Structure 1
Amino acid sequence: MTDKLWGGRFDEDITSEVLDYTLTTDIDVRLIFADLWQDIAHVLMLGKRGIIPADNARAILGALLRLWEKHERGELALRPELEDVHFNIEQMVIEDLGRETGGHMHTARSRNDQVSTDTRMYLRRVQLDAVAANLALVDVLLSFPEEELLAILPGYTHSQAAQPVSVAFWKTAHASMLLRDVRRLRGAFDRTDESALGACALAGTSFPLDRELTARLLGFRGVLSHALDATSARDYLIETASAFAIGGNNLSRMAEEIVMWSGHEYSLVEVSDAYATGSSIMPQKKNPVVAELTRGRAGRTAGTLVQLLTMAKGVTLGYSCDLQDDKPYLWNAIDTYLSTLRIVAGQTKELRFDSARGEHLCWDNFSTATELANYLVAEHGLPFRETHHITGSLVGALIKRGATLRDTKAGAEILAELGHPVEESVLARIFAPRTAVTSYTSPGGTSPQSVEAVRAELRQTAQGHAGWLERTRDKLGTAQAATFRAAREIAAGADFAKVLDTVAADLPALEQR
């Protein structure tokens, strides 16, 4: 008979090759905190309900608390021959207390509901960290100095110069995108923050569990009520990966602009030396490597989403080992996304924009031509479709002369020939990029007052998210502290029901949905 914890039915052990192929201990290191917290909550519930003898439960709690202290010191190592974090912790308890006592810990539980609960607990932390990192980058983007309200950049459509904008307008646009990423992460958190513990393998159990108690001890907002769904669901992982992939794409779009605009042909922005590297052969080079890697690593987060969708689509309800392949890819996406958010925040603080160069490009690229069309509508009473045609004719004629909108004398002559004379002084005013930027006073437009209004709105939204983040972290911290306080008191001999009834006041209530 094999000596594995599951080995009663088997005559021989798995080979070393099978163990290497199936073990997850290297991946499960991130779940140690969650597994120990979950074990403690489970044993507290077992003891209170009388499912296992109180003395055994107390002894197990004491062993788990010792393991937690060892983990806190960085001394708890998982043994690969024990396959995963769940068997490792259980075996450590059994080695401490003996099978007669420690063997009670896994009563009314399966690795199926364990792994789902552990992963949800870890993902909650990650999702909150991602919200915090996004909010930090949003704060950098919204903390622009007043002069950037009129620091001119060409705006682009179809990768062609379109209309002039300001640096502040560009920064608030990216902040607006990132705050949608925060909303997506909060939505994923909401679907993650449900306890699977007590679903067991897939069908529940005949033991009288209190799933609401363990959910509260673990800080969950609710219980996944259907046991088969609780152990089968991986949509919360896929939704999280989707939020990472979309967030990675948004960071990549910002990075693409920085890479493009920092090139000599644009010369609109300079990346700090601290976020660039040189060439091994060309001494003149300054390469925006952080922005380039931000752009490239968006592929990792997108790839993880595709991997998880592919993994889950062919698996029937009920646990299959296909599902253990979710974490290696997701862990990589987590590390990529969080590190990218943090380094992009640092890079963004140090960006230096060249407003004079931006204004020059706006003149040369006819970026304010729309302002003539708008002027002819407002001042001459012409329909916009006709003024669009007139302005297009002006641009075409200037190009043939090798001139730009800066050549207001030529512009006035051409418009007179077209039968729509406009004074040169008026053309000089309406074609000036700064005039265009300041005149777009519609909500969400480029004018300083419009941008300031959007900044105030985005700051208020960010503050709301920051408040939610603080409350949620406090809730999880409170639940963990209450769980461990109860475990220490009961391990020392206190009554299960009395202690748990007392700490219940500190535990978050479950949401009714």
Structure 2
Amino acid sequence: MAGDQFQHTDTSVFPDPIYKETVLRPLFEGAKAHHMDGFRRIDRAHLVMLQETGILDARQAQDLARALVAIDSELDVSSLTYTGEVEDFFFLIEKELKDRLGPDLAGRLHTARSRNDIDHTLFKLALKHHVDRLLEKARHLADTLIAVATREETTLIVAYTHGQPAQPTTFGHYLGAIIEVLLRDIDRLAAAREIVDQSPMGAAAITTSGFPIDRERMAKLLGFSAPLENSYGCIAAVDYVTSTYSAVALMFLHLGRPIQDLQFWSSFEVGQIYVPNAFVQISSIMPQKRNPVPIEHLRHLASQTFSRARGMLDVMHNTPFTDMNDSEGETQGAGYEAFASGGRVLDLLAAVAGAISIDASRVRENIRRSCITVTELADSLVRRESLSFREAHEIAAAVARSVVQREGDLAKDGYEAFRLAFSTATQRETTIDELSFAEIVSPEYFVAVRQRFGGPATAPLRAALDGYREKLAGMKLAAEHIRLREDQAQIELDTRFQSLLGGA
């Protein structure tokens, strides 16, 4: 018959050996490495909810609870080797339940749930843990930077634009800019965590269930802030992944930029920062070398973290809006590597930032050679001599050219050039004497007069640092409230599960 060509006798046995080794075994190992605690919590919370809603009676719940405890005590997960006898870890637990309770009662634990909602709940539980650890490290870095900025609020440095000396500022002011970005990055990651912190349990495969399940109760028992409402979105909307890794990518993209500055500032030619011996490696052949290699490691680890986080977004690109393997096991495991390298960056950067110091003599010399205080000379001419800024700028530029040409010092060697440039441009003598000129072009004066909001002078910088401390304190308090809520949820789950055991 014409249709015979479509009739096949399939004698193959699942799993195919290649499929087993290339897909199923890695997935099983990933579950062992990352999700054992999550499986245990989900099984126990689901059992509590089924009993509380009357879907299971007390005796059924008790027998299932005792079997779960027995599996925990008798099954050494770390020693398990994937054999292909069952498809994955979920079915391994179900098999263990059947061996102890028989297929009817064992199968009742799976009432009103699916691997779809279980999987995304597992991934969210694990992701919250990784996010929390990274946020804690990021807050520690912010703490460290605020402390260093406070210590160095008046320490002069050369600020660069386009790779060239531009203006003097303070190390505290420079660090303040980094702190502001870091605090915004912490906010972004904390906002992403709020998306992660919504429970998919109860969505089942796609459309929830006809059983009278309590999704709010499941969310509370598992420590989530609430259930994610739309059940289709619970298994299809992976914005909890993209939001999290977008925030991670941005954090380490942003941190990579000041790390690059530290590399530049520690070079022999610039020498603006001193890196202590604890963070310096020597050359195997050149005795004179002091290599601040940890800064180099910071740079490439930040780039690795950014790339790993961005890779998660690439995996999600052009995937269908449905349950799909692209967002699951191995992808989640790959994403955790971004948290591993990112945590190393935050720890090392906090240590390095707390240890480095500014080489004041090199800063002074670089300021002298570059004439970077001359902008204030132009500003002062506008205020003191009533010139237009453009006219004042041209006078200041002429002074700088003269001083640089003779490799002089602006404060000591620039006054005569200034008098000549001023009289040539204005056809009159300046009212600024030599002593006032030296003060105007000093880096201390340059910083001190920049009293505007956000500037490097003492008052605005101290106000900014106070604001950073206050914001960081609020972040710590919010994180503590979340931790207490989740700890209480774990206590409640443990208590309710123990009550199912009865006299066991």
TM-score, normalising length: structure 1: 0.88
**Amino acid in structure 2 at the alignment position of 1:18:** Y
- State the percentage of identical aligned residues: 27
2: CA distance, partners of 1:295 / 1:88: 43
Structure 2 partner of 1:25: 28
Deviations 1:183-235 (A, max 9, x none): 01111011111010111112222222111110111121121121111101211
1: CA distance, partners of 2:97 / 2:263: 54
User: CA contact under 8 A between 2:395 and 2:418: conserved in structure 1?
Assistant: no
Instruction: Check 1:228–1:484 CA distance in 2 against 1; reply closer, same or farther (3 A cut).
Output: same
Structure 1 partner of 2:286: 282
3-state SS of 2:35 partner: helix
User: CA contact under 8 A between 1:111 and 1:201: conserved in structure 2?
Assistant: yes
Shift of the alpha carbon at 1:404? Answer: 4.4
2: CA distance, partners of 1:284 / 1:69: 60
1: CA distance, partners of 2:487 / 2:73: 17
Aligned length: 484
User: CA contact under 8 A between 2:370 and 2:404: conserved in structure 1?
Assistant: no
Structure 2 partner of 1:80: 82
Instruction: Check 1:26–1:279 CA distance in 2 against 1; reply closer, same or farther (3 A cut).
Output: farther
The 5-angstrom pairing of residues 351-430 of structure 1 reads: 351-406=356-411, 407-415=413-421, 416-419=423-426, 421=430, 422-430=432-440
Instruction: Check 1:341–1:86 CA distance in 2 against 1; reply closer, same or farther (3 A cut).
Output: farther
2: CA distance, partners of 1:51 / 1:10: 40
Deviations 1:4-41 (A, max 9, x none): xxxxx996211222022223123222221122111111
3-state SS of 2:168 partner: strand
1: CA distance, partners of 2:273 / 2:404: 28
Shift of the alpha carbon at 1:327? Answer: 1.1
Deviations 1:39-85 (A, max 9, x none): 111111112223234323222223334555689xx865554345544
1: CA distance, partners of 2:82 / 2:350: 38
TM-score, normalising length: structure 2: 0.90
Shift of the alpha carbon at 1:363? Answer: 2.1
Q: How large is the RMSD of aligned CA atoms in angstroms?
A: 2.4
1: CA distance, partners of 2:444 / 2:204: 66
User: CA contact under 8 A between 1:47 and 1:53: conserved in structure 2?
Assistant: yes
User: CA contact under 8 A between 2:369 and 2:407: conserved in structure 1?
Assistant: no
1: CA distance, partners of 2:46 / 2:257: 45
The 5-angstrom pairing of residues 410-489 of structure 1 reads: 410-415=416-421, 416-419=423-426, 421=430, 422-489=432-499
Shift of the alpha carbon at 1:430? Answer: 1.0
Instruction: Check 1:492–1:159 CA distance in 2 against 1; reply closer, same or farther (3 A cut).
Output: same
Structure 1 unaligned blocks of 5 or more? 1-8, 495-513
Deviations 1:80-125 (A, max 9, x none): 3455443344344444444343232222211111111111112122
Shift of the alpha carbon at 1:383? Answer: 2.1
User: CA contact under 8 A between 2:200 and 2:227: conserved in structure 1?
Assistant: yes
Deviations 1:262-298 (A, max 9, x none): 1111111122333332223223322222221221122
User: CA contact under 8 A between 1:43 and 1:61: conserved in structure 2?
Assistant: yes
Shift of the alpha carbon at 1:468? Answer: 0.4
User: CA contact under 8 A between 1:405 and 1:411: conserved in structure 2?
Assistant: no
2: CA distance, partners of 1:392 / 1:412: 10
1: CA distance, partners of 2:96 / 2:287: 58
Deviations 1:469-495 (A, max 9, x none): 11111111110110111101111269x
Instruction: Check 1:227–1:135 CA distance in 2 against 1; reply closer, same or farther (3 A cut).
Output: same
Structure 2 partner of 1:504: none
Residue 191 of structure 2 is aligned to residue 187 of structure 1? yes
User: CA contact under 8 A between 2:399 and 2:418: conserved in structure 1?
Assistant: no
